[in-house]
Amino acid sequence: MKLLLRGGRLVDPASGHDGAADVLLDGGVVAEVGPGLEAAGAKRVDCGGLVVCPGFVDLHVHLREPGREDAETIETGSRAAALGGYTAVCPMPNTDPVADNAGVVEMVAARGREVGLVDVFPVGAVTLGQRGVELAELGAMARSAAAVDCFSDDGHPIREARLLRLALEYARAFDAVVADHAEDTSLTDGAQMHEGEVSAMLGLAGWPAAAEEMVVARDLLLAELTGGRLHLCHLSTANAVELVRAAKARGVRVTAEAAPHHFTLTDETVRGYDPVFKVNPPLREKADVEAVRQGLADGAIDAIATDHAPHAREDKEVEWPAAPPGMLGLETALGLAVAELVGPGYLELPAAIERLTAGPARCRRLPGHGGPVTPGAPANLTVLDPAARWTVDRATLASRARNTPFHGRELTGRVVHTLLRGAFTVRDGKAQR
Amino acid sequence: MNTKHLLSAADLTAGEITRVLDTAAHLAKVTDRAIKKVPTLRGRTVCNLFFEDSTRTRISFELAAKRLSADVINFSAKGSSVSKGESLKDTAITLEAMGVDAIVIRHGASGAPWRLAEWVRAVVVNAGDGTHEHPTQALLDLYTMRQRFPSFEGLRVAIVGDVLHSRVARSNVLALTTMGAEVTLVAPPTLLPARVESWGVAVSYDLDAVLPKQDVVMMLRVQLERQRAGFFPSMREYARLYGLDARRLDAMADHAIVMHPGPMNRGVEIAADVADSLERSVIADQVANGISVRMALLYLLLGGPEVRQ
Amino acid sequence: MLRAASNPTGLEAFLMSGRTVVMDAADVHRALVRIAHEVVERNKGTDGLVVVGIHTRGVPLAGRLAAKLTEIEGRPVPAGAVDVAMYRDDIGMRPPHATHDTHLPFDLAGTVVVLVDDVLYTGRTVRAALDALTDFGRPRAIQLAVLVDRGHRELPLRADYVGKNLPTAADQAVRVQLQETDGSDAVAIESAPRKAVASR
């Protein structure tokens, strides 16, 4: 099937292209790229006023299947991802059962293929059951049909330095990345929100920034020691960003991600005690939000990753301490990136798109995703309207869950079409399945 | 009053706090009458929704409501569907369906009253939420202070003890600073909240230095589990550094008063012999003033037209 | 129209706002004296009599009446005050009324209570006062003395002693000023608000 995306602005960070160009797709791959293309027999898609770019990649999502299908399934999560402009997502292993073996990761990848709305690249657990005691069979997962090249105990930090060291070293055999959730649990025991002026007034136990920074520092030193590949999940504090910046300058092999809620919201939102604002790491102070934005701007942070964390409605309609942490993110990431980063001038649009595409693709192996948009490449593309203003309505989200902290917020930038290997998964803003 | 609910001591302006205290003073006389009742809230229903045990506070609210001729239902978490797993929200929906006019809630989770207020049309009164606030306690404490001191402006109040985990402390700091009092918090550094300097209070780790200058000394309860969690090395050291004993009582100014939200931990924040001589007067104040203040609040919150949020 | 002083006070301000004075200080005094004599005549003395004023302006009036009765009969007649905020029939319909002290330094049993208020209008305040008093005890009788009766009763109540009958329209207001509360004595009728009032 031939598709001609005509009249758009092609932004392809991987190749550096930013300008008017048409893209011809044939048989699921990019056939030709250039201005003023003509193609007989091709269905024309008018992209005037729109941006054409690689499909987005989300390094960090929770699809909840297997185990909590009441909150989200691979199908509903895939649909939400496609609507958000994503063609690839990486679900974390904190499912039930935990994805700590070839069987579960293969099942998750296969289900993703079956649903066929995004490519699903599972993240395998580092330790058995994510218990932090013994390594899981990283090799089996790497060599499985799921071809896992990223391991994480996300949800939990890897508490023992010894274990993280071993994981970083062992993973080198598979050229795999270890992604750590940086948190010193002895400092965050019972913590409910960021430790600061707001937590002191609200009577909620605090999660000090130092608890994240200490572990970030430790992880960077271990990465340096082992020569292994380290990825840092959901950076949220100013010092954490600075530590990563300095480590990269020293040549440490580290990549980092940040979530949209950490470059948009502060702990002030917690004042009403609505658990929709409860997340781990917690929402921090203005200076931290500013630092995350700067980190994305200067590349200290490589990727925007949503940490999409759906929760069943009744789980979040409780008193704050009883609620699980986590927020939705797939369908609002683009809108927040444009409204909060591009709009105020932290990044230009191509750089913001880079943090959603080529940047994440640098962090792990995701064949066919992140660009470049060149002949022969799989046609995983997103067409978006960078100026569209829209208001988030939680009732109309494709996710099974409703826990978005952005309900009622006006965003800028909306996905028009998403294509997975040349086929529309989203067309004119509507999911095709 | 400008606020529909009473969730935080910060909900009330200085003028409103004064109005509550003035009204409480008038309603205090109801207790002295032969018929200890006025018909004011006849036909209204007040629900005491207590997820934490507190006989004293619950009875205080119950009596306050009954003296205003309101009907009272008591809902304690134990032995109800809550213990079988019914959530706060389900409970709220049930109460809403029953048509209660006010819900007085005490809950172990900070912020629970705010959630409840989202789910019901009734007036919500916070009777203590987690380690956050206990606004009616602060109001009754202010009432007690006003019985002995003519003005709050410049009144020197020390709050001593586990400020970090104390809802009484937070509410008192808010109410007292609103009224222009000079508040000093005295505690070991581990029991003071982060950024406490931004609260508009003075802070000291040295009780003996602070005591002689105070008009009011409020001692907070220190719970055993705080010692177990390592906030201070031993109860003995805590009592030695921050406990009120006979010697420290002597060091206080002649006109100064000691307050305690109760119940007292003898031998910890208050030495046993001091507790003996203080207990009766402190409890008497708490009980009598608590009912008057709560009557005033119920009258001021429920005595007007229904406020739509 | 009266010329405004630069800082009008008390009576001046009172009179400035388009009001018509119907009783001046002398009228108020004479009315109270007459009521006192009527009370003595009707009750054949002041034995067992107490005077109770309804907050707010009924209270100073009750004090004056009690003093006058004491003077006439040569034996002390006690005065008290009753606050009706808790007994009103419009609780929940308008913002809560301010409260005041109820002070009844005598046993009501067997007494004749002369209830005093400044203005008798719908009768609802008096109804509330009757309920309040009944909660304190059982007087032998309650009589009602008012400085002004402006009509428009909504309950079957009437005053036993009236300072002045003042027919009014419903959209008019009766404003009473007393020495003890406002600095001087006067009763005025205020018509419905007009656009231009006294200039500053």
Res. C1: pLDDT tops 90: no
Which domain CATH number covers C46? 3.40.50.2020
DSSP state of A123: P
Tell me the pairing of strands C141-149 and C161-165: parallel
Residue C173 · residue C189 · CB < 8 Å? yes
Residues in chain B: 309
Position B55 scores a pLDDT of 85
What does the domain layout of chain B look like in residue ranges?
A: 9-134+288-302, 135-285
Largest CA distance in chain A: 68
Position B283 scores a pLDDT of 79
Q: What is the 3-state secondary structure (H, E, C) of chain B?
A: CCCCCECCHHHCCHHHHHHHHHHHHHHHHHHHCCCCCCCCCCCCEEEEEECCCCHHHHHHHHHHHHHCCCEEEEEECCCCCCCCCCCHHHHHHHHHHHCCCEEEEEECCCCHHHHHHHHCCCEEEEEEECCCECHHHHHHHHHHHHHHCCCCCCCEEEEECCCCCCHHHHHHHHHHHHCCCEEEEECCHHHCCCCHHHHCCEEECCHHHHHHHCCEEEECCCCHHHHHCCCCCCHHHHHHHHCECHHHHHHCCCCCEEECCCCCCECCCECHHHHHHHHHHHHHHHHHHHHHHHHHHHHHHHCCCCCCC
Structure tokens at B215: 């008009």
CB contact under 8 A, B19 and C98: yes
A370 located within any domain? no
Position B284 scores a pLDDT of 82
Interval C149-183: pLDDT, tens: 999 999 999 999 999 999 999 899 999 999 999 99
Res. C192: pLDDT tops 70: no
Domain check: are A27 and A114 in the same one? no
Helices A161-170, A209-226: axis angle to 10 degrees equals 40
Strands in A153-228 per DSSP E: 177-180, 193-194, 206-207
Could you please state the CATH topology (level 3) that the domain comprising B135-285 is classified under. Rossmann fold (3.40.50)
Structural domain including C152 reads: 24-170
A369 located within any domain? no
Q: List the CATH code of the domain at B9-134+288-302.
A: 3.40.50.1370
A368 located within any domain? no
C80 located within any domain? yes
| Cis peptide upstream of residue B193 (ω within 30 degrees of 0) | no
Domain check: are A300 and A388 in the same one? no
Q: What is the total count of domains within chain C?
A: 1
**Where does a domain end: A336, A363, A390?**
A363
Which domain CATH number covers A34? 2.30.40.10
C177 located within any domain? no
C189 located within any domain? no
Whole-Å CA distances, C84 to B27, C56, C124, C134: 12, 10, 10, 12
DSSP state of C183: S
Res. C6: pLDDT tops 70: no
Domain check: are A71 and A39 in the same one? no
Q: Closest by alpha carbon to B115, among C133, C51, A278?
A: A278
C89 located within any domain? yes
Give residues 112 to 131 of C whose Cβ lies within 8 Å of B: 131
Interval C135-146: pLDDT, tens: 999 999 999 999
Query: Which of A186, A202, A268 would best serve as a mutation to test chain B binding (most B beta carbons within 10 A)?
Result: A202
C34 located within any domain? yes
Domain check: are A237 and A256 in the same one? yes
What region does C116 belong to: left with phi over 0, alpha with psi -120 to 50, or beta? beta
C7 located within any domain? no
Considering only the beta carbons, identify the residue of B115, B195, B199 that sits closest to A319. B115
Structure tokens at A393: 């309505």
A271 located within any domain? yes
- The answer to whether B and A touch (≥3 CB pairs < 8 Å) is yes
A403 located within any domain? yes
Query: Across-strand partners of B253?
Result: none
Res. C7: pLDDT tops 80: no
Q: Closest by alpha carbon to C149, among C127, C116, C181?
A: C116
Position B84 scores a pLDDT of 54
Interchain CB contacts (distance < 8 Å): B and C: 56
A372 located within any domain? no
Measured CA to CA, the distance from residue C174 to residue C121 in angstroms comes to 10
Structure tokens at A194: 């960021």
Position C14 scores a pLDDT of 61
Position C17 scores a pLDDT of 61
Region C8-17: mean pLDDT is 60
Position B228 scores a pLDDT of 83
Structural domain including A427 reads: 2-51+377-431
A404 located within any domain? yes
The burial class, CB within 10 Å (0-12 / 13-18 / 19+), for A45 is buried
Q: What's the complex ipTM?
A: 0.90
Domain check: are A267 and A286 in the same one? yes
Cβ neighbours of residue B75 closer than 8 Å, sequence gap 6 or more: B47, B48, B49, B50, B91, B95
Whole-Å CA distances, B79 to B74, B90, B92, B98: 12, 16, 17, 19
C92 located within any domain? yes
Q: What is the total count of domains within chain A?
A: 2
Position C191 scores a pLDDT of 83
Measured CA to CA, the distance from residue A432 to residue B289 in angstroms comes to 67
Measured CA to CA, the distance from residue A126 to residue A202 in angstroms comes to 36
Interval C15-38: pLDDT, tens: 556 789 999 999 999 999 999 999
Structure tokens at B290: 């608590």
Measured CA to CA, the distance from residue A102 to residue B89 in angstroms comes to 41
Which domain CATH number covers A94? 3.20.20.140
DSSP state of C113: E
Domain check: are A267 and A329 in the same one? yes
Domain check: are A336 and A191 in the same one? yes
CB contact under 8 A, B306 and C131: no
Q: What is the pLDDT along chain A (433 residues), one digit of tens a residue?
A: 899 999 999 999 999 999 999 999 999 999 999 999 988 999 999 999 999 999 999 999 999 999 999 999 999 999 999 999 999 999 999 999 999 999 999 999 999 999 999 999 999 999 999 999 999 999 999 999 999 999 999 999 999 999 999 999 999 999 999 999 999 999 999 999 999 999 999 999 999 999 999 999 999 999 999 999 999 999 999 999 999 999 999 999 999 999 999 999 999 999 999 999 999 999 999 999 999 999 999 999 999 999 999 999 999 999 999 999 999 999 999 999 999 999 999 999 999 999 999 999 999 999 999 999 999 999 999 999 999 999 999 999 999 999 999 999 999 999 999 999 999 999 999 999 9
Domain check: are A295 and A344 in the same one? yes
* B contacts of C93 (beta carbons < 8 Å): 305
What region does C134 belong to: left with phi over 0, alpha with psi -120 to 50, or beta? alpha
Res. C128: pLDDT tops 70: yes
CA end-to-end span of chain C? 12
Per-10-residue mean pLDDT of chain B, 309 residues long, equals: 94 97 94 89 95 90 96 78 68 92 96 96 97 97 95 97 96 98 97 94 97 96 86 93 95 93 88 85 85 97 80
* A contacts of B88 (beta carbons < 8 Å): 318-319
Q: What is the dihedral of CA A55, A61, A64, A70, to 10 degrees?
A: -80
Considering only the beta carbons, identify the residue of C87, C92, C101 that sits closest to B38. C87
Catalytic residues of B: 56-57, 84, 106, 134
A164 located within any domain? yes
